[in-house]
Structure 1
């Protein structure tokens, strides 16, 4: 089993939702992936220890045509803002009974997010491009850093900021971030760990941990270079 970027994205989405009621259909719709891929992400997240089961998960039938019908994921070079529609008729049997099938394993997830994910999913910087702000350039951090810092963006045709491009964790990230402010903040903080300078990484460590697992001890502060 190899953990995929979308598995980490799904785990962060569940953190953003907190105690909200959710289904695989809603998870797929808000992340811009197919229902079958949402099931696969949950399965891999459980195997990796990033998620905990609330009950036994229903089996997921394999339907070769379902991905095409649901619009699985967008090409890497194109990030659409339009909301994807999920066809209820394509949902697996028992979908209505699968609400909140799992929950995040907060201790494991925060450990992975702070110390492992940037190595598992390294950042790829791109040329200057118009896109959606990320890292310290994201709206959640307005006023935190002095003007003049290099802006980082996820390439997007409807973007509002020109900056250094950063390949998003997953092609659906710009879409998913626009649906959920807390998820957007966590994804931007993760990018700060991947591409930010020492001060930005230090801030991201504390803030990302506080968002994922507020009750965890604060990360140790050591010298950070770069």
Structure 2
């Protein structure tokens, strides 16, 4: 049995991606979609299995446990402090999924040449997160909600949890332009 040396930030993204697929998948599918090596996907799934965040067969995310981890542990295990002002992709309360709920002059972004917004940098959970989120609108929304929990105040955290639970519980219907 492998030792568990703690979760890594990209483990969260792997679990979110599995939730977004809502069907059959292979490790190579996750690897390709997330721009993470197949061996890292395998190790991530092992860590999540040991943590009780994915089923023993590593095919089904234990959504209730995952939500509890996100709600009560995420900001302590993977903290973030907004950094310098840069151009990037909106995240947290600045992302499309949350921007209608909160008024703030302060914007948060993932640093990226592809971004059109200026804001304070929130470092992504792993280096290729912006690429993976750009390929999948639902994953982008979930990652932005994760950042709202990591960097947000109580109201932002509560709304982000509420929206994540909705995404986890039913087919995703949000439209993208």
Bin of the TM-score, shorter chain as denominator length: 0.7 to 0.9
Q: Does the CA contact (< 8 Å) of 1:110 and 1:212 recur in 2? A: no
Counterpart position of 1:198: 154
Aligned residues: 166
SS in 1 for 2:83: strand
The Cα shift of 1:184 comes to: 1.1
Q: Does the CA contact (< 8 Å) of 2:74 and 2:149 recur in 1? A: no
Counterpart position of 1:132: 89
SS in 2 for 1:154: strand
Alignment of 1:104 onto 2:107: no
Alignment of 1:12 onto 2:16: yes
Specify which structure has the higher proportion of helix: 2
Q: Does the CA contact (< 8 Å) of 2:31 and 2:37 recur in 1? A: yes
TM-score with structure 2 setting the length: 0.87
**Who wins on radius of gyration, i.e. which is larger?**
1
The Cα shift of 1:141 comes to: 2.8
Counterpart position of 1:188: 144
The Cα shift of 1:197 comes to: 2.8
SS in 2 for 1:53: coil
Q: Does the CA contact (< 8 Å) of 2:146 and 2:160 recur in 1? A: yes
TM-score with structure 1 setting the length: 0.69
Moved >6 Å (runs of 4+): none
Name the CA distance, whole Å, in 1 between partners of 2:40 and 2:25. Answer: 16
CA RMSD of aligned residues (A): 1.6
Unaligned runs of 5+ in 1: 55-100, 215-226
